[in-house]
Chain A
Amino acid sequence: MADSKDVTLKIDDRDVTVPPGTLVIEAARRMGIEVPSFCYYPGLSLQAACRMCLVEVERAPKLQTACTLVAMPGMVVRTNTEQVHQARKAMLEFLLANHPLDCPVCDKGGECELQDMAFTYGADKSRFAEEKRHRPERKWSEAVYYDAPRCILCFRCVRVCDEGMDVKALGVGQRGSQSVIIPNGEDHLDCEECGMCIDICPVGALTSGTYRYKTRPWEMKYVSTVCAHCSNGCKTTLSVRNNEILRANNRDLSGFNKEFLCVKGRFGFDFTSHPERLKLPLVRRNGHLEPASWEDAIAEASRRLAEVHKASGADSIGFIGSNRTTNEENYLLGRIARASIGTNNLDHHRTADYPSLIAALGEKAAAATVTMTQLYEADAVLLIGDDPTQQNPLVAWQIRAAIRHRGSRLYVINAKSIKLRRKAREFVEVSQGGEAAAVSWLSGSDETLDPGVAESLSALKSALEKENNVVVVFGAELTGAAVRDLVKFGASLPGQTRYMALGDYANSRGASDMGLLPHLLPGYAPLADVKAREKFGKVWGAKLTNKPGLDARGMLAAATSGKLRALYVVGANPVKTFGVNANERLGKLDLLIVHDLFLTETAKLADIVLPAAAAYEKDGSVTNTAGEVQLVRKGGDVMGTRSDFDILRIFSHQLAEHGLGQAIRLRTPEAAFDEIRQSVAGYDLSMAALLLGEAERTSPISTAGGQAKFDAPVGAIFSAHDTLFASGSLGRYCTTILSLPEAGPKTTPEAGAHS
């Protein structure tokens, strides 16, 4: 319905009604009228430099730029007149004058905006008879190349780097026709290497170092999936040729991240084709891991696990899951552990205290958390802990965009002077690890703080009290009681305070939601809840035990002490993550089974290693840190690997043959997701929306009742503090990212973080 303040204007003899302040170019696009432009880019500052969008406006003496013209009531605009066509043709002629005719070798050829425009609006031949301006191509970094003659100086790259990324690594050198884009390091880039400039470039001036001259756009298939790295869940489109992923970007602007991707999303796909990728199952024979067939490896794994079960009981077996594998895979792993084996020794590397947040919010859990889109719409953001710029780049991008576009306010409490501080209204620097104490103080406890900190906290508090509907974003620094304090403080603020907990990895939230936790079943149903146990027991065809299980650290300690006899690790590297002495072969374990892409520290100790497919090589769903579920799609394929889903499914069949549990009859991830939708609280999502590529937010509700506490033991929740150039164990195989100088000195495989 049209708002009374809406503006009606006429474009090409048709009326259109738009909200006040809408630009004519946007109003025209809304009607399906294309007004060509190079420099205009929604979300970036206006430029009016390319002059492609010139339109005729009645009663204006000359042509006006549609990208700066605000729609006014009664305005009459024409985009389809002889004068407009002539102007477009003239602009293109000027643009093409010095533009090299190297389309056949240019990486942008086939998806170049200038090509398209020249084709649609340009002249058929060039009248430029002078010598073209030439400058040699420059390599600014392993990721970014700049070819000055191709540059049309639309300044999109400069603006996205400054306004969008707040990096300011690109500028303009010289002036007039000599103008060029210059990097901050004179001849190289010193930046976050996000590559936003490459994808935002309408021509082939900025090109990707990794995709360089490999293929052409029409030769590839495009698979829209979710980034495999951090927990923000950015959509990324993989460009695949011959089952090989050649590049990743989000030019189709799908997903809540729109054009945004960080260095990991854009360049961190090459681990899939890393030479060290495992392509055959390995079985330890005579102390050495030797290649084996899939049949033999799985048969041996299930047989030996059944033996351990028989000899030492269900609780002598432990399971450590992954925060990168899909929801379906996590769900299956939980089922195998709890139903087939009958143990609650089940955990993963927890990077945010989702259970405590959900417990603390109780009934309101769904309404009191925000999606990535809602984060952008927030009027005020309180950020506690974490360094979103490094660890959760989309969160940082959304916060910056909210500040830039909507005048939102940011308040930061952190132990470090993180980059977002520049954008913050108030910044409270607490001591290392002092975030929890600060939150406790804010919630009204008698915590004694450093007087300076208390003073700035009270300034922050009074500023927040003037805000309405604050969004609180917090990292792994706040767990358990601190999360409850935070919710208590949030309740004291005006309006509705909403929350977002920041985890580390692509499916950190999903692992938690799917119950890869010793004390919680899928959907945060407590183990003590008989009804929940009965429900899942019925679905899984087993009677579930309520005997408390060990957490990850507990399992590793039990392995060393000999209480745990077998450990099943899926897509995790606990040896590295939890700092186990790798020489001890995990104590006295009889059996260590590992699914992984690479021979990690943990896999090296394993008895059986199963080569898994990467996140970009399988279908399924993942849940980002904000609880938004999205489907992942199979892009590449590496011969010899299998998805964790397939491995676990087959494994369950074999276990059933050995008398352990029921075989899993879910043949596909889709079937498994269907079961998840029916049985996991909060996952009853619209399949239609998911299939359309949208993100659907889960609505987990703590059914445990008001005062439930899902606290984890001390030390169970911690962030790996991965930077933009690290991504746990996976990051050690991202060749391009590691080659960037910003990634720091080359890390040996031992020196990386966790998986």
Chain B
Amino acid sequence: MNLPPQLEAKFQTLENRYPVKRSALIPMLLYAQDQLGYVSDDMIGEIARRLGLNTLQVTETMAYYSMLRRQRAGKYHVQVCTNVSCMLRGGNNLYEFVQKKLEIGHKQTTADGVFSLEEVECLGACTGAPAMQVNYDFYENLTTERATQIFEALEAGRKPGTSAPISGSVKPRHPAEVPVISRLFGVKDSHKLDVYVAHDGYKGMERALKELTPDQVIEEVKKSNLRGRGGAGFPTGMKWSFVPKESAKPKYILCNADESEPGTCKDRPLMEMMPHQLIEGIVIAGRAVGSHQGYIYIRGEYRYVLDIMDGAIAEAYKAGYLGRNILGSGFDFDLVTHTGAGAYECGEESALMESLEGKRGYPRIRPPFPAVVGLYGSPTVINNVETLSSAPEILRRGGEWYAGIGSPKNGGTRLFCISGHVNKPGIYELPMGFSLRQMIEDVAGGMLNGKKLKAVIPGGSSCPLLTADEIDVAMDYDSVAKAGSMLGSGGLVVIDEDTCMVDLARRIMHFYAHESCGWCIPCREGTGWLRKMLDRFHAGGARAEDIPMVSELAKNMLGKTFCPLGDAAAMPIISIAKKWRHEFEQHLSGKCPYKPADVLAAVR
């Protein structure tokens, strides 16, 4: 098969990028799709041939990833997010508006082949909700007028202005903020090497490479009380120390940039505005565990972020911050990016490794843990973008300094993405242990339209919800856990009194049912069952026996699934069914008592 030269070049780079050829599969499919608008049968055969796979291996892998398609989409593929944060800010209205405007429905293409539409799960633009993506371009804070302008421009062949950097990241700093990892947000050309270096960039790495031994690096990180920012909050220094010192196989540093937790959009600005900070953090991690190869697994939708990251990596190689003998220290480190193709499950560390190996993103059995048997069966450190981005400053200014910012056992700052019904949704860097009440009432500018607070999702949609009475809590891992929820990924979603909690539960369950990988029974069947049941319940088919069954089914999933996704689906539902049981009872009349305001029209 003759490929366009650009694609041919891309394929050749990808084929030679990984120690196992199959790893190139998903990026190849996605790049081929970008070129052709879909993945044709011929292309499947061609990719299979190049990677030494059979076509079934290609098609079954492809079928797993929601961005990959075998039917042609429109020239402009419009993806409207209706997940929690967007839904609260009128995502559904936007989706309806676009449907009417384009006169097509979910996964349909206009007759002229110009537009196709898809209702998608969280795009990572929660602080700019409601949002949509056209091909790889983000459009945020949409109104009907803005959406109309965008479609008119696209139809006329003009490129409408996109929303980058992500809305809510560049704004006047709130006095309570402690800018550490976000310190260059808003600085012109902050993604460029010289700007980063001018702001103490690569100093931490230099210290780690030249002044400290690997053990001292780990010690410094342990001292900082840095805990994993992906959601589980595992102490990072400890994680690094689990990697065997001696290994016959190469060790890997894996950066988890598959940010897809609804309500969370912190990795995106970190990579688009401070990519060098992440590179520096990865090299520090490499130094700590004796690894010489890193991968950044970036979710497929963040293509422009991936391009920025690639640019930064190229710059870093050129300036000697990556590659052979970094800064004359004798330490070598190579780093490449890798694109996902639409799967929330691939944010789970072992599923991410499977995905990076070019397979369906099914999680792996543990033990063995990634620190011992990870990517390509080798010892692997896998950390979130934010975790790794915190490393440079820890190394530059010392672990004790970092630990001093946060609360006990919860070192430093973290990026809180506050979305939903607040006046100033945005990404705020606040010290660990900051008061949740103050975050909502002060930092985020209070409730939208002066409504009363009903509920808060404290750390992405996987966490149990807190009621308005429960918000006097310090936002660190231990305190939030004590309050019966989780700090999670730092995606706060604030929900006002007009929101129907059954509808919210329904929407959350739609997400998990869509994203369940299908590996284990309780998650695969449980999420699907609850989705159907909550749909029926909210649409007027509520039965009294359904109310206890909702939490019973969720509890049957809890703790019994293969990976944490089942728990993530169960926990918010259990908390909603318990704390807002009366709202379920109100639905027994057959009608939803809440009329969600048409936020899209109302806000402006």
Contact = CB atoms under 8 A, between A and B. Distances in A.
Interface residues of B, number: 39
B528 interface: yes
B516 interface: yes
A98 B531 CA distance: 13
A90 B520 CA distance: 13
Contacts of A68: 365
B38 to A, nearest CB: 16
Contacts of B529: 94, 97, 128, 130
Interface string A639-661: 00000000000000000000000
A184 B521 contact: no
Given A51-B560, A128-B529, A130-B532, A91 B522 contact: yes
A554 to B, nearest CB: 49
A176 interface: yes
Contacts of B59: 171, 173, 182, 186
Interface in A34-92: 46, 48-52, 54, 62-63, 68, 87, 90-91
Interface string A90-118: 11011101100000000000000000000
Contact of A179 (B518, B522, B527, B560): B518
A121 to B, nearest CB: 13
A175 interface: yes
Contacts of B556: 87, 90, 93-94
B453 to A, nearest CB: 33
A68 B365 CA distance: 8
A176 B516 contact: yes
Contacts of B54: 168, 184
A171 B56 contact: yes
B526 A94 contact: yes
A177 B517 contact: no
Given A51-B561, A175-B63, A97 B519 contact: no
B525 interface: yes
Contacts of A46: 365
A91 B560 contact: yes
A644 B63 CA distance: 56
Interface residues of A, number: 42
A690 interface: no
B60 A173 contact: yes
A172 B524 CA distance: 14
Contacts of A127: 545, 549
B545 to A, nearest CB: 8
Contacts of A93: 556
Given A48-B562, A90-B560, A184 B56 contact: yes
B532 A184 contact: no
Contact of B520 (A49, A128, A130, A178): A49
Contact of A51 (B516, B521, B536, B546): B521
Contacts of B546: 129
B560 A49 contact: no
Given A48-B365, A175-B516, A153 B560 contact: no
B32 interface: no
Nearest to A190: B56
Contact of A176 (B365, B524, B545): B524
A63 B521 contact: no
A182 B56 contact: yes
B555 to A, nearest CB: 8
B518 A177 contact: yes
B56 A169 contact: yes
Contacts of A62: 559-560
Interface in A118-171: 127-131, 133, 152-153, 168-171
A98 B343 CA distance: 24
A174 interface: yes
A51 B519 CA distance: 10
B521 A94 contact: yes
A174 B528 contact: no
A171 B60 contact: yes
B135 interface: no
Given A51-B520, A184-B55, A177 B560 contact: no
B522 A131 contact: no
Given A63-B559, A171-B56, A152 B521 contact: yes
A171 B529 CA distance: 24
B337 interface: no
B258 to A, nearest CB: 15
A173 B562 contact: no
B435 interface: no
A396 to B, nearest CB: 19
A183 B57 CA distance: 11
B360 interface: yes
A131 B529 CA distance: 10
B388 interface: no
B597 to A, nearest CB: 30
A95 B525 contact: yes
Contact of A172 (B360, B526, B561): B360
Contacts of A128: 529
Contacts of B525: 94-95, 97-98, 177
A98 B528 contact: yes
B533 interface: yes
A153 B518 contact: yes
B95 interface: no
Nearest to B556: A90
Contact of B517 (A94, A170, A176): A176
Interface string A540-567: 0000000000000000000000000000
Interface in B467-489: none
Contacts of B562: 48-49, 51
A56 to B, nearest CB: 12
Contacts of B516: 175-177
B63 A173 contact: yes
A183 B522 CA distance: 25
Contacts of A130: 529, 532-533, 536
Contacts of B543: 129
A51 B533 contact: no
A51 B562 CA distance: 8
Task: Choose among B55, B529, B543, B546 the residue with the greatest number of A CB atoms under 10 Å from its CB.
Answer: B529
B393 interface: no
B515 interface: yes
B518 A176 contact: yes
B500 interface: no
Contacts of B545: 127
A201 to B, nearest CB: 16
Contacts of A133: 528
A168 B520 contact: no
A163 to B, nearest CB: 14
Interface string B525-552: 1111100110010000001011001000
Contacts of A179: 518, 524
B352 to A, nearest CB: 15
A68 B559 CA distance: 16
B524 A87 contact: no
B327 to A, nearest CB: 43
B81 interface: no
25 contacts: A49-B520, A49-B562, A50-B520, A62-B559, A90-B556, A94-B529, A97-B529, A98-B528, A128-B529, A131-B532, A133-B528, A152-B521, A153-B524, A168-B57, A169-B56, A171-B56, A175-B343, A175-B517, A175-B518, A176-B524, A177-B525, A178-B518, A182-B56, A182-B63, A184-B55
Closest 7 CB pairs of A and B: A171-B60, A177-B528, A90-B556, A179-B518, A94-B525, A130-B532, A184-B56
Given A51-B561, A68-B365, A94-B556, 9 more contacts: A46-B365, A49-B520, A62-B560, A153-B521, A175-B343, A175-B516, A183-B56, A184-B54, A184-B55
